[in-house]
Amino acid sequence: MMQSAGTSFRRKRPTSDRDAALPFPAASLSTILVGVVLLSTLAAMIVGVHRGQEAVHLQIIPSEPSGAKAVTIDATIGGAHKGDGPTIRSLADLTPAELHPQAGPDRHIVTPPADDLSVSLVTCKTTVGYLHILVHPSWAPLGATRFLQMVNEQYFSTKVALMRCIKGFLCQFGIAGDPTRNKPYGGKNNLQDDPNWLPEGPTHRHNELGVKRFGKGYFAYAGSGKNSRSNQLIVALKDNEGLGGGSPWEVPWGEAVGKESFETLDKIYTGYGDKGPSQGRLHREGSSKAIAEDFPELDYVLGCEVIDSR
């Protein structure tokens, strides 16, 4: 324990010629030793920070007024983003093509619906980096509203497992880390289907330019039939021809934006594939210690915030 400045250190008389020959008083030696211990402790704390043992809080402030309050996103030092914080902080950081997506030679098989409703920029922190999601209610009003509800209720702060991530295909997630948070979204609370704005059927897997129907970074819901959307989501890890082709739950309601988001998608662990933790187990246990031990490489969404809207 660090002692106060006025504390005196009691010393014994020297008991040998060696003790008597010290070039400075024993009290001074004690003071030096205490100082060395304090310096060593401080050095260990600094090393601990650099090794990811501490966390910093980064305030995300829109670069220009756009109707959204500044929010705080935790950035863990030593993770994939190494405490640098997200690269996108407001809608002003997006390109015109991201703000107003159009069908083109590289992305979007057709031009998405015009934004007649307010768009929201959501930043999610994951165990491998940040995901920035531009939510378009005009694309799928019910699906987009449900996702924003989950974000505003801090649902993703329960540590949501990226439970079924298949290389070159998609990643499925959404079951709450706290099992008690699932009930309000399922059963009788399932969403009605939104109309699909993507061209359906096997003849529309890609267009004449080779652009595939369901673009990398498109977000939609997982489901199992008509009006089955609840709290489980999917995001495409690569451009995909099959998704969005008629399954009523696969209508996109938003997409990843910014280079950082696509880098994060590429870092998500896909080694478990379909053999990750089962939906039933996650519903029972949430993001439990036992699941973490059984699936040590599993990635998670740690929290999401609306950082801008207009």
pLDDT for res 83: 52
- Tokens 């009691």, residue located: 10
Higher pLDDT, 297 or 66: 297
Whether the pLDDT of residue 31 is over 60: the answer is: no
pLDDT for res 35: 54
Predicted TM-score of the model (pTM): 0.75
Q: What is the pLDDT of residues 251-291, one digit of tens each?
A: 999 999 999 999 999 999 999 999 999 999 999 999 999 99
Distance, CA of 8 to chain centre: 53
Count H helices and E strands in the chain, helices first. Answer: 7, 11
What count of other Cβ atoms lies within 10 Å of the Cβ of residue 118? 12
Whether the pLDDT of residue 229 is over 70: the answer is: yes
Report the share of the chain in percent with pLDDT over 70: 73
Q: What is the pLDDT of residues 55-109, one digit of tens each?
A: 333 333 333 333 333 334 443 322 343 457 999 999 999 999 999 999 999 999 9
The mean of the pLDDT values for the chain is 82
Q: What is the pLDDT of residues 183-203, one digit of tens each?
A: 999 999 999 999 999 999 999
Tokens representing 285 are 């246990």
